[in-house]
């Protein structure tokens, strides 16, 4: 698309991790497909990992240009540096485009980076917050911000957290640092900062959709006025309206998809357990051992993504003992795996992107959340949407082999398996409908595009 002056140009600013870059980049592609020029501004350390046709890429600095967060090591140090350096370098990009044929009209920023909204206002352009968690999780934190309840939240098994429009949230359903704020102080501060200047945003977006969480979002529109525009999953897996859109276009690790697909071809339909805990979660050696033993006892086929840094936690001779039945890889294209007909269920940490991917592709899940918003997502997978099961923890917080084995058998062919697969198919169809032409999310995106276009035309006439 050739940019023309007074046509909308949106710059996207994600938090520089895989799970945050992907949905914002996908939103950029959606807008481009509707005639908007889209640019992604990401850190110098992650900029080389972006490869998406039609989306321009610009580098900003977080102050740790050689290796990003791992160079900073501490969250509070990293976030402070990113705010200072990111604000300056993002401002420079806006200035560089100002007298071009396509000046920037709007910053869509990851809600973890509220300083980007301050940059937008400084330059007299629009600012839109993009929340990457579920609407439910965002609502919980909005209630904390507006002091509906205070931290630490005292939640008991017989007296759950009750919030307007939400189901009862028991201790295992809420992020741990709500009950123990001192456990992750920097992360909690970042979560709360999302609301620090939100009232100044021109739009608020969330990566969910009306049929999934519309009632929850509309119930708090006075404190969190979000438009649901998801699921931000590549078009080839949903509506197929963006040509060639088979992946996100960002990968911080090298996937081994060809090896996986070749192996999956040898397996019957819905016979393989796919296991992945994302790019950040680290299981304890004890939990890895319980997982491995459950897989051995199940005698089922499995594909397990174990990052190189985690492989030392696997039991000795586990890989050798499961040759033929199991395949262990360090990384793969998750969407390709979930879309493969050989996959029968998805053992997941319940990160929101993974949850949406599993839901959008209709794959039953075994929910094993580890921290933060994953706990709430797991509740909805099991109890609200009924597309999977959630194994029980022992008193040490471990899912034992017997419990996991029971859950695997239940999802793959147990009493609840028919109902779970039926529900998974229902939500898959609703996700596709939402993002397709005329769907709830598509309409919300069109409203945004039309508003930007009108604003640009108004600027033109004023001149």
pLDDT tens digits for range 42-68: 999 999 999 898 999 999 999 999 989
Say yes or no: 275 and 335 in one domain.
Answer: yes
pLDDT for position 75: 87
- Tell me the pLDDT tens digit for each residue of 389-430: 999 999 999 999 999 999 999 999 999 999 999 999 999 999
For residue 174, tell me if it sits in a domain.
Answer: yes
Report the domain count for the chain: 2
Residues 6+ apart with CB under 8 A from 252: 17, 18, 46, 49, 279
Residue pair 266/64 in contact by the 8 Å Cβ criterion? no
For residue 1, tell me if it sits in a domain.
Answer: no
pLDDT for position 250: 78
For residue 408, tell me if it sits in a domain.
Answer: yes
| 0.75 surpassed by pTM | yes
Say yes or no: 239 and 298 in one domain.
Answer: no
Say yes or no: 86 and 176 in one domain.
Answer: yes
pLDDT for position 457: 78
Cα 255 from Cα 333, distance rounded (Å):
6
Residue pair 89/61 in contact by the 8 Å Cβ criterion? yes
For residue 290, tell me if it sits in a domain.
Answer: yes
What are the tokens at 186? 């920097």
Return mean pLDDT, the chain.
93
What's the rounded mean pLDDT across residues 151-176? 91
Say yes or no: 349 and 213 in one domain.
Answer: no
> Phi/psi of residue 227, each to 5°?
-95, 130
Catalytic residue among 9, 20, 102, 143: 20
pLDDT at 211 over 90: yes
- Residue 110 is a catalytic residue: yes
Say yes or no: 354 and 282 in one domain.
Answer: yes
For residue 3, tell me if it sits in a domain.
Answer: no
pLDDT for position 280: 81
- Residue 297 is a catalytic residue: no
Say yes or no: 261 and 319 in one domain.
Answer: yes
What's the rounded mean pLDDT across residues 37-41? 98
Q: How confident is the model at residue 436 (pLDDT cuts 50, 70, 90)?
A: very high
Instruction: Look up the domain containing 297 and give its range.
Output: 256-430
Residue, of 142 and 278, whose pLDDT is higher: 142
Which region among 3-17, 141-155, 259-273 has the lowest average model confidence (pLDDT)? Answer: 3-17
What's the rounded mean pLDDT across residues 69-93? 94
Say yes or no: 458 and 420 in one domain.
Answer: no
For residue 165, tell me if it sits in a domain.
Answer: yes
Residue pair 154/174 in contact by the 8 Å Cβ criterion? no
Say yes or no: 196 and 285 in one domain.
Answer: no
pLDDT at 169 over 90: yes
pLDDT for position 460: 58
- Tell me the pLDDT tens digit for each residue of 316-366: 999 999 998 999 999 889 999 999 999 999 999 999 999 999 999 999 999
Catalytic residue among 9, 102, 110, 245: 110
For residue 202, tell me if it sits in a domain.
Answer: yes
pLDDT for position 2: 42
pLDDT at 3 over 50: no
Distance of CA 171 to the CA centre of its chain: 23
Residue pair 129/117 in contact by the 8 Å Cβ criterion? yes
Say yes or no: 230 and 276 in one domain.
Answer: no
Share of the chain above pLDDT 70, in %: 97
Say yes or no: 240 and 299 in one domain.
Answer: no
Say yes or no: 226 and 320 in one domain.
Answer: no
DSSP secondary structure of 267-331: S-TT-EEEEE-TTT----HHHHHHHHHHHHHHT-EEEEE--GGGGGGSPTTHHHHTBTTEEEES-
Say yes or no: 344 and 323 in one domain.
Answer: yes
Per-residue burial over 362-387, b if 16 or more Cβ lie within 10 Å, else e, is bbbbbbbbbebbbbbbbbbbbeebbb
Q: Residue 351: which CATH number?
A: 3.40.50.2000
For residue 136, tell me if it sits in a domain.
Answer: yes
């Amino acid at each position: 698309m050739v940019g023309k002056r007074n046509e909308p140009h949106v710059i996207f600013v994600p938090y520089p991790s895989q799970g945050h870059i992907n949905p914002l980049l996908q939103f950029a592609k959606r807008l481009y497909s509707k005639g908007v020029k889209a640019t992604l501004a990401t850190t110098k350390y992650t900029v080389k990992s972006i490869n998406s046709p039609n989306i321009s890429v610009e580098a900003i600095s977080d102050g740790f240009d050689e290796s990003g967060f791992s160079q900073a090591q501490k969250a509070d140090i990293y976030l402070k540096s990113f705010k200072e350096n990111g604000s300056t370098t993002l401002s420079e990009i806006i200035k560089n485009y100002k007298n071009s044929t396509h000046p920037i009209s709007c910053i869509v920023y990851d809600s973890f980076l509220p300083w980007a909204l301050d940059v937008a206002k400084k330059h007299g352009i629009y600012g839109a917050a993009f929340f990457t968690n579920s609407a439910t999780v965002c609502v919980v934190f909005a209630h904390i911000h507006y002091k509906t309840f205070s931290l630490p939240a005292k939640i008991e098994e017989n007296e759950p957290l009750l919030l307007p429009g939400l189901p009862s949230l028991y201790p295992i359903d809420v992020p741990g640092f709500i009950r123990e704020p001192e456990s992750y102080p920097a992360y909690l501060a970042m979560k709360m900062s999302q609301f620090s200047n939100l009232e100044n945003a021109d739009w608020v977006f969330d990566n969910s959709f009306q049929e999934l969480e519309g009632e929850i979002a509309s119930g708090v529109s006075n404190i969190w006025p979000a438009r649901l525009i998801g699921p931000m999953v590549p078009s080839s897996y949903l509506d197929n309206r963006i040509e060639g859109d088979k992946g996100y276009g960002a990968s911080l690790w090298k996937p081994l998809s060809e090896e996986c697909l070749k192996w999956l071809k040898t397996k019957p339909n819905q016979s393989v357990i796919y296991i992945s805990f994302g790019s950040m979660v680290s299981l304890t050696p004890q939990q890895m051992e319980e997982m491995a033993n459950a897989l051995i006892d199940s005698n089922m086929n499995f594909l397990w993504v174990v990052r190189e840094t985690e492989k030392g936690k696997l039991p000795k001779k586990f890989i050798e003992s499961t040759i033929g039945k199991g395949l262990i890889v360090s990384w793969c294209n998750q969407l390709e795996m979930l879309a493969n007909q050989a996959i029968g269920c998805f053992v997941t940490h319940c990160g929101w992107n993974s949850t949406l991917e599993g839901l959008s592709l209709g794959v039953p899940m075994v929910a094993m959340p580890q921290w933060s918003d994953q706990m709430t997502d797991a509740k909805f997978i099991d109890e609200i949407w009924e597309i999977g099961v959630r194994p029980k923890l022992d008193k040490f917080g471990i899912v034992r082999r017997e419990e996991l084995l029971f859950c695997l058998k239940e999802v793959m062919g147990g009493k609840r398996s028919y109902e779970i697969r039926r529900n998974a198919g229902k939500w898959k169809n609703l996700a596709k409908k939402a993002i397709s032409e005329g769907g709830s999310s598509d309409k919300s995106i069109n409203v945004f595009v039309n508003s930007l276009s009108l604003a640009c035309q108004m600027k033109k006439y004023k001149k």
